[in-house]
Amino acid sequence: SAVISQKPSRDICQRGTSLTIQCQVDSQVTMMFWYRQQPGQSLTLIATANQGSEATYESGFVIDKFPISRPNLTFSTLTVSNMSPEDSSIYLCSVKPREDTQYFGPGTRLTVL
């Protein structure tokens, strides 16, 4: 199994500011993803974090709003830029260490005032 940690676990931010979320995995994984779960909703994929190249974003998500870094196979960051209250969500890092399994981090609970 893969153990995933995220920092911060939660934060309250003012609109217009930016927050960077860190995801650390205890083993090297090729496939790493960032998801968003809005209050009371299901999970939506934001992007695939690619090591050594630009992230691959899903429809509705853009790099200027959600820049992602993936400097190595155990670490990634997601920045939520120029935040608005609509960005209040749980942001989750996920990895796929093997074909038949996938793991999620504990999530970062973001509240934007």
Partner 1 sequence: GQQVMQIPQYQHVQEGEDFTTYCNSSTTLSNIQWYKQRPGGHPVFLIQLVKSGEVKKQKRLTFQFGEAKKNSSLHITATQTTDVGTYFCAAQGSANAGGTSYGKLTFGQGTILTVHP
Residue 52 to residue 5: CA distance in whole angstroms: 21
Q: How many CB atoms lie within 10 A of CB 6?
A: 18
Residue 102 to residue 100: CA distance in whole angstroms: 7
Residue 21 binds partner 1 (CB under 8 A): no
Residue 73 binds partner 1 (CB under 8 A): no
Residue 61 binds partner 1 (CB under 8 A): no
Angle at the Cα of 46 from the Cα atoms of 69 and 93, rounded to 5 degrees: 65
Residue 44 binds partner 1 (CB under 8 A): yes
- Minimum gap (Å) between residue 77 Cβ and partner 1: 18
Residue 106 binds partner 1 (CB under 8 A): yes
Residue 19 or 55 with smaller CB distance to partner 1: 55
Residue 56 binds partner 1 (CB under 8 A): yes
